[in-house]
Amino acid sequence: MPPVFSREIIRPVISTTKLMFQARTSPCEAACPAGNPIQKVQSLVKEGRYDEALRFLRARNPFPGTTGRVCTHPCETDCNRGTYDEAISIRGLERSIADYADMTRMKKPVRMARSGKKIGVIGGGPAGLTFAYFSSLLGHEVTIFEAGPILGGMPRLNVPEYRLPKDMLDLEIGLVLETGVKARTNTKVGRDISFDEIRASFDAVCIATGTWKERELDLSDADKAVKGVEFLRLVNLGITRNVGKNVIIAGGGGVAFDCAFTARRLGAEEVHVVCLEEADKMCAPPDDLVQAREEGITIHNSRMVSRVLQQDGKGTGIEFFEVSSFFFDEAGNAHIKPASGDKKSLLGETVIFAAGVQPELEFIKNTGISLNADGTIKLDAQTKSTSVAGVFAAGDVVVGPSIVASAVGQGRETALAVHRYLTGKDTADEVLVIGDDGAIVAEPVGREGRPHVVAFEEMWNPEHYEKTPRKKTGASAGISFQERDTGLDQPSATAEAARCFHCGHCDKCGKCVEDCPGLILEMKEEGPEVIYPDECWHCGNCRISCPDSAISYDFPLYTLV
């Protein structure tokens, strides 16, 4: 029986009692550095509405076809469905949206009125391009200065073709330029134009040069080894080389494995990856470790290279020793404890070093811009500005080597920060998105602060969802530069999207309406509504029966009058 109250003495605080939504969100959305509206687009994919889903993605991320292929998907690691059976293939669904949406039916974003302000962007990678995209839509005149021969940054020049076909990247960069962004390629700041010239010509400057400078190792004959980032850059530009049948790669991150997989595609029959990390602590993406096993890459863990062996000026092998422990200090220097004094050799025809990257910022030397201990640019946490007025920064040059989605998120956030600087508005906790009408808007993060992230333990009724295996993406046969992961077909994408828990978001399943003992709920287009508020018992059945943990209450429930 519900509690009995005299309505002359007690009444609900809110005269129109309602279910409360959207003060909660999912772990996947909280973990996405690009800020993708994951559960929203998966609802649309479930209904086959790819065009709308792409519009929602591009409202936050102008590169969904790129991130849908190369992102290391931290969202999937945090997915609540992974505790129940298997995590949702979020990256696969993002790629499906970019692949299957009809671009000819897409509504183009609308630029705000011209502001008369000019912004210079140094660097044409994901952070710089995303920053330029949103800054242009905000009405500013934007010019990108790119040192390379073509825009795209790391995805263009370092991600191999078998992971990211460059026609998809071309399409998405074209959509950025279509907003009115100008680009000057083959223009290196500090060589072809000075930083002071750029500052004098623009009302604001954003530095987004990434982390291209490869770390130098203090080893004998280290210069005889091939540098990993440079190796990938040349291959992506079509300048291939004969690596021989036996290749040795020093390093344990994503760049090292991209070098390994690329060497296999250039004809290497035996590829060895030598790295400091233990097998269970490697920093390479898990997908890379799976691919390494499939392609016969040999990994040597807990090893440190002590010398490069060379013949006729070319690296032909390495000398190494076992490591018992190591750590990196704030400046990125390694402190290594050898397991013993024994040294061994590994011979090959090409030696590639992928020992890490860092920012290359000679062009801002003596400008007054402050740096962190690791060489990245120091920003004010609130304004996103550097220590020099009017100069901002975004992407890896701020956070260090990271993923494309992080660069995208940083680029969008910095565009809003620069817009506020140029227009004199106060800094606020807002996020830039493109609205339903195609116009760009700054949305408040939330009146009550950032939404609560729903943990699996908070989901009272996950059994509403039948346990089903994750849909696998397709794979091309053999070792070639043809795209290896062929993605989800449309029936698989529909089925995979239907697996989403929609944690913290109402999916309009109707369970709350069905389980309400007072029969006072009704399902409306925007979600369930309390149609007889005075009859609500506040029993909590709706909250318990909700499979998405989307329902919360206003408290206190009652007050004396």
What CATH number did the domain enclosing 302 receive? 3.50.50.60
Q: What is the pLDDT of residues 42-55, one digit of tens each?
A: 999 999 999 999 99
Angle (CA) 276-280-284 rounded to 5° is 65
- For the cut 70, the answer to whether the pLDDT of residue 1 exceeds it is no
559 versus 47: the higher-pLDDT residue is: 47
Instruction: Report the alpha-carbon distance of residue 114 to residue 140 in Å, rounded.
Output: 6
Q: What is the pLDDT of residues 110-162, one digit of tens each?
A: 899 999 999 999 999 999 999 999 999 999 999 999 999 999 999 999 999 99
In the chain, the percentage of residues whose pLDDT exceeds 70 is: 92
pLDDT at 174: 96
Q: What is the pLDDT of residues 328-381, one digit of tens each?
A: 787 667 788 888 878 999 999 999 999 889 999 999 999 999 999 989 999 998
449 versus 1: the higher-pLDDT residue is: 449
Picking from 437, 452, 481, the residue at the C-terminal end of a domain is 437
Instruction: Report the alpha-carbon distance of residue 144 to residue 126 in Å, rounded.
Output: 12
**Are residue 419 and residue 527 in the same domain, yes or no?**
no
Establish if 327 belongs to a structural domain: yes
In the chain, the percentage of residues whose pLDDT exceeds 90 is: 67
Q: How far is CA 237 from CA 150, 160, 185, 230, 304, in A?
A: 10, 10, 15, 11, 31
Establish if 501 belongs to a structural domain: no
* C-alpha R_g of the chain: 27
Q: Are 23 and 448 in contact (CB under 8 A)?
A: yes
Residue 73: both structure tokens together? 């998907």
**Are residue 256 and residue 338 in the same domain, yes or no?**
yes
Looking at residue 32, what DSSP letter applies? -
Picking from 420, 437, 454, the residue at the C-terminal end of a domain is 437
Establish if 111 belongs to a structural domain: no
**Are residue 204 and residue 224 in the same domain, yes or no?**
no
**Are residue 222 and residue 289 in the same domain, yes or no?**
yes
**Are residue 424 and residue 328 in the same domain, yes or no?**
no
Q: Which helix (H) or strand (E) holds 559?
A: strand 558-560
Name the band, by pLDDT with cuts 50, 70 and 90, for residue 556.
very low
Q: What is the pLDDT of residues 395-419, one digit of tens each?
A: 999 999 999 999 999 999 999 999 9
Q: Which helix (H) or strand (E) holds 272?
A: strand 270-274
Q: How far is CA 285 from CA 256, 289, 516, in A?
A: 11, 7, 46
Establish if 502 belongs to a structural domain: no
Q: What is the pLDDT of residues 422-438, one digit of tens each?
A: 999 876 677 787 877 78
In the predicted model, what is the mean pLDDT of residues 450-474? 90
Q: Are 524 and 21 in contact (CB under 8 A)?
A: no
Q: What is the pLDDT of residues 519-532, one digit of tens each?
A: 888 888 878 888 88
3-state secondary structure of 220: strand
Residue 138: both structure tokens together? 């905000």
pLDDT at 507: 84
Q: What is the pLDDT of residues 72-92, one digit of tens each?
A: 999 999 999 999 999 999 999
pLDDT at 341: 77
**Are residue 230 and residue 333 in the same domain, yes or no?**
yes
Q: Are 53 and 41 in contact (CB under 8 A)?
A: yes
Beta bridge partners of 430: 444
Q: What is the pLDDT of residues 285-310, one digit of tens each?
A: 889 999 999 999 999 999 999 999 99
Hey, CA dihedral for 134, 414, 365, 198, is it positive or negative?
Answer: positive
Nearest to 430 by CA among 140, 94, 57, 440: 440
In the predicted model, what is the mean pLDDT of residues 540-557? 74
260 versus 449: the higher-pLDDT residue is: 260
Q: What is the pLDDT of residues 186-204, one digit of tens each?
A: 999 999 999 999 999 999 9
- For the cut 90, the answer to whether the pLDDT of residue 38 exceeds it is yes
Establish if 287 belongs to a structural domain: yes
- The total number of structural domains in the chain stands at 4
Establish if 2 belongs to a structural domain: no
**Are residue 249 and residue 345 in the same domain, yes or no?**
yes
Instruction: Report the alpha-carbon distance of residue 219 to residue 355 in Å, rounded.
Output: 12
Nearest to 261 by CA among 119, 144, 398, 160: 160
pLDDT at 20: 46
* Strand duo 527-530 + 558-560: pairing: unpaired
**Are residue 243 and residue 343 in the same domain, yes or no?**
yes
Note down the domain range covering 58: 32-106+467-495
**Are residue 391 and residue 429 in the same domain, yes or no?**
yes
pLDDT at 251: 93
Beta bridge partners of 120: 143, 205
Question: Number of helices (H) and strands (E), helices first, in the chain?
Answer: 19, 26
pLDDT at 9: 30
* Average pLDDT over the chain, rounded to an integer: 89
**Are residue 239 and residue 350 in the same domain, yes or no?**
yes
Instruction: Report the alpha-carbon distance of residue 293 to residue 287 in Å, rounded.
Output: 10
**Are residue 65 and residue 146 in the same domain, yes or no?**
no
- For the cut 50, the answer to whether the pLDDT of residue 561 exceeds it is no
pLDDT at 15: 35
Q: Are 469 and 430 in contact (CB under 8 A)?
A: no
Name the band, by pLDDT with cuts 50, 70 and 90, for residue 216.
confident
Establish if 112 belongs to a structural domain: no
pLDDT at 553: 60
**Are residue 390 and residue 263 in the same domain, yes or no?**
no
Picking from 422, 437, 452, the residue at the C-terminal end of a domain is 437
The CATH number that applies at residue 556 is 3.30.70.20
- 240 contact partners, CB below 8 Å, separation of at least 6: 234, 266
507 versus 481: the higher-pLDDT residue is: 481
Nearest to 7 by CA among 544, 475, 533: 533
Establish if 26 belongs to a structural domain: no
Q: Which of 60-64, 422-426, 557-561 has the highest mean pLDDT?
A: 60-64
Q: What is the pLDDT of residues 484-512, one digit of tens each?
A: 999 999 999 999 999 999 998 888 888 98
Instruction: Report the alpha-carbon distance of residue 43 to residue 41 in Å, rounded.
Output: 5
Q: Are 422 and 143 in contact (CB under 8 A)?
A: no
Name the band, by pLDDT with cuts 50, 70 and 90, for residue 18.
very low
